[in-house]
Amino acid sequence: MVEVSDGASCADALKEGLSGKRFKAAIACKAGDTLLDLTAPVPTTTETLTLTPVTADTPEGLGLIRHSAAHVMAAAVKKLFPAAKVTIGPSIENGFYYDFDVETPFSPDQFEAIEAEMQRIIDAAVPFERMDISKADAVKLFNDMGEPYKVELIEGLEDGTITLYRNGDFVDLCRGPHIPNAGFVKAFKLLSVAGAYWRGDEKNRMLSRIYATAFADAKDLKEYLNRIEEAKRRDHRKLGKELDLFAFHEDVAAGMVFWLPKGMLLRTILEDFLRREHIKRGYQLVQGPQVLRRELWEQSGHYANYRENMYFTEIEGDMYGIKPMNCVSHMLIYNAHLRSYRELPQRYFELGVVHRHEKSGVLHGLLRVRQFTQDDAHIICAPEQLEDEIIGVIALVRDLMALFGFQYRVVISTKPAKAIGSDEAWELATNALIKAVERANLSYTINAGDGAFYGPKIDVKVTDAIGREWQLSTIQCDFTLPERFELEYVGQDGERHRPVMVHRAILGSLERFIGVLTEHYAGAFPTWLAPVQAKILTVTDAQNAFAEEACEALRKQGIRAEVDTRNEKLGFKVREAQLAKIPYILVVGDKEVEARSVNVRLRTGENLGVKSLDEVAALVQEDCAEPFKRGGMSYRFS
């Protein structure tokens, strides 16, 4: 324990309590849970106060470096483009950005000059200085500087002290804290530009946003930039075009996918597998209509809580909502007749097409669309069955994540500010999710306030082949909608009781999942899922007849095969098949025709030699079955 004099700074206190090396590594200070500048005075308290150093190699330290780098970038932009108006510049998950109001939007061509000016500020180790002034003085200061966006932000704050930070000639509105000086930004890179509306409102002026990143050292920056390049190589939009899977026509159907034959085949294989797997696990296939009267959406709470994301249409003077979710239809299916406790649980599965209004600025290939299909299911069960049903869903999640080779983590999201239902119902639902996850021996974190408006949820976040995290599965526990739709069952006592409902989607949106899967596999789908599993290539026209015969023979054994009899050089055809990510490339020359066989090559370039058609079929089937063993599932050709 170290005693410090009144008015001592955090730096003074840390210097007293740390070795020279540890003290020099500190870029900020943590007092309890509060982050502070090193120059900030030690908080006054009658209790023993724990001060800990924040270093660049911690998540908090990296966040501070990126936040400070955003200020450095804004200072550089103002130096080079004095007419630019500054708005906001936060740190984000993988870096930071800053939005500017400029007459002509920025372009990557200007990055070199901006980076050079940033480096000058960094090399000079320009300090960050905190300034506390009155609200009136802050408004006057930014008015005098000609910064209307800062004035608008300040005027929206409560009266009192306003915190600013100065970095050289640049002054910004900011609560802090910051690194001691710009020299602690050891590695940075400007990445891209984009448009962004002021405060996210499309009625406001379009700003020019510069995205960038920063790291504690150059090695981490280099690794990150390599990951970005790998992500570009795997971009599903690029691969979707190259592999002829899907297309978009934003001028006529923004946010909606046109599935091309190979993409539709891949999707159909996935859908058929999901249907079979759900039937095997006791689900019943159902389907509801695309539109329902507005009154039903009012009853469910969607109209009050989700209306801005819905599309509506009028039919003979009545207002209908195009479904954004399948739960309402499934409850009506349940209510088709009175259920006995012996009939519970009822597990309804639907590959349901839904529509949700997304602003055009957030649409992103398959990952963010307006029309999509959910592998949606609703389990309606007695309260005492709830935990077991959730565990059953978790088992399905585990099997499917193993099948596709995803690592994952579990997050439990609790009651949001905008919610329906009683506190008691929310507590019961949340506890059921927690107990089920714990019984399944899964670790989890709590994401407070991020549940659905009708119930808490388990979110499964998967990590792909290059370390990116994606939100896929969700399991939501709901006591409220069964009450609103008067769902009932007759119990063992002959009385009517209220069931509980589990909303769940394992892959989520099939569109989004296929986008994620395309990037995860870099387009090289596992053989069981590949639209074309084998392609037969001829050396000359003399082999065309046998190639067609071989293709037909493989198809009869359930292999998705094609023939390439074009008058092109063999090397060219092999290269094209490899670029198309086809698992098995079967070459036919005169010797193969004579032996009624094919020369087998893999898309990786490995040559397996000459094999009979039966041997090829067995190879493909074994390759298809292999991933299913990880999830304890069986693969069946159809």
- Can you give the pLDDT at residue 18? 66
Catalytic residue, from 78, 209, 278, 457: name it: 457
Q: How far apart are alpha carbons 500 and 479 in whole angstroms?
A: 5
pLDDT of 637 above 50: no
- When pLDDT is averaged across residues 146-172 and rounded to a whole number, the result is 94
Among 20-34, 137-151, 561-575, 595-609, the least confident range: 20-34
The phi-psi region of residue 127 (left if phi > 0; otherwise alpha if psi is between -120 and 50; otherwise beta) is beta
Which of 314, 474, 457, 465 has the alpha carbon at shortest distance from 404? 465
Q: Which fold has domain 246-520?
A: BirA Bifunctional Protein; domain 2 (3.30.930)
**Active-site residue, 356 included:** yes
The pLDDT of residue 43: 80
What was the pLDDT predicted at 434?
Answer: 93
Average pLDDT value over all residues in the chain: 92
pLDDT band at residue 422 under the 50/70/90 scheme: confident
The predicted structure's pLDDT at residue 638 = 45
| 236 annotated as ligand-binding | no
For the chain, the residue count is 638
Sheet of strand 128-134: strand arrangement: 128-134, 161-167, 170-173
Give the pLDDT mean for 45-56.
75
Could you tell me which CATH number the domain at 62-232 has? Answer: 3.30.980.10
374 among known catalytic residues: yes
DSSP 158: P
Asked if residue 423 has pLDDT above 50, the reply is yes
pLDDT at 47 over 80: no
- Give the C-alpha separation, 472 to 460, whole Å: 6
Using pLDDT thresholds of 50, 70 and 90, give the confidence band for residue 382.
very high
Residue of 323, 378, 504, 611 marked catalytic: 378
For the segment 81-90, what is each residue's pLDDT rounded down to a tens digit?
Answer: 999 999 999 9
The pLDDT value recorded for residue 244 is 96
**C-alpha dist (Å) from residue 19 to 16, 25, 44, 88, 179:** 8, 10, 24, 38, 20
Q: pLDDT tier at 610 (50, 70, 90 boundaries)? A: very high
Give 1's pLDDT tier (boundaries 50, 70, 90): very low
| Distance, CA of 263 to CA of 247 (rounded, Å) | 10
Q: Calculate mean pLDDT across residues 262-267.
A: 97
Q: Which residue among 37, 376, 478, 564 is the active-site one?
A: 376
DSSP strand pairing (291-293 vs 318-322)? antiparallel
Amino acid at 67: H
Considering the domain 527-628, what is its CATH architecture? 3-Layer(aba) Sandwich (3.40)
Query: Tokens 């896929």 label which residue?
Result: 472
Active site residue 418: no
Domain ranges of the chain: 10-55, 62-232, 246-520, 527-628
Supply angle C-alpha 298, 299, 303, rounded to 5: 25
Contact 546, 591 (CB under 8 A): no
Return d(Cα 276, Cα 271) in angstroms, integer: 9
Q: What is the pLDDT of residues 200-259, one digit of tens each?
A: 888 899 999 999 999 989 999 999 999 999 999 999 999 999 999 999 998 899 999 999
Residues 25 and 13: beta-carbon distance below 8 Å:
no
**Cα–Cα separations (whole angstroms), residue 147 to 78, 98, 132:** 11, 14, 18
Residue 29 is labelled as binding a ligand:
no
Please tell me the predicted confidence (pLDDT) of residue 5.
56
**pLDDT value at position 33?**
80
Residue 439 CB contacts under 8 Å (≥ 6 apart), including other chains: 387, 391
For the residues 169-190, what does the mean pLDDT come to?
Answer: 94
pLDDT tens digit sequence for 9-40? 888 777 766 666 667 788 898 887 888 888 88
Helical packing angle, 261-280 and 510-520, nearest 10°: 110
The neighbour count for residue 618, using CB atoms within 10 Å, is: 13
Q: Each residue of 317-369: pLDDT tens digit?
A: 999 999 999 999 999 999 999 999 999 999 999 999 999 998 887 889 999 99
Instruction: Give the pLDDT mean for 369-375.
Output: 94
Question: What percentage of the chain reaches a pLDDT higher than 90?
Answer: 78
Q: Which of 99, 355, 374, 415 is catalytic?
A: 374
Q: Per-residue pLDDT tens for 275-316?
A: 999 999 999 999 999 999 999 999 998 998 889 999 999 999
Structure tokens at 124: 């000079």
Is residue 275 part of the annotated active site? The answer reads no
Interhelix angle for 544-556 vs 613-630, to 10°? 40
- Asked if residue 429 lies in contact with residue 477, where contact means CB atoms within 8 angstroms, the answer is yes
User: Which of 340, 437, 334 is closest to 380 using CA atoms?
Assistant: 334
477 catalytically annotated? no
Residue 551 known to be catalytic: no
Domains 246-520 and 527-628 share a fold: no
pLDDT of residue 378: 96
Which residue(s) pair with 181 in the sheet? 127
pTM of the model: 0.84
Q: Give the best-scoring range by mean pLDDT among 425-439, 448-462, 534-548.
A: 534-548
Active-site hit among 30, 370, 503, 560: 503
Cβ count near 291 (within 10 Å): 15
Is position 201 annotated as part of the catalytic site?
A: no
The predicted pLDDT at position 634 comes to 65
Per the annotation, does 381 bind a ligand? no
Segment 365-384 mean pLDDT: 94
The token duo for 300 is 């469910």
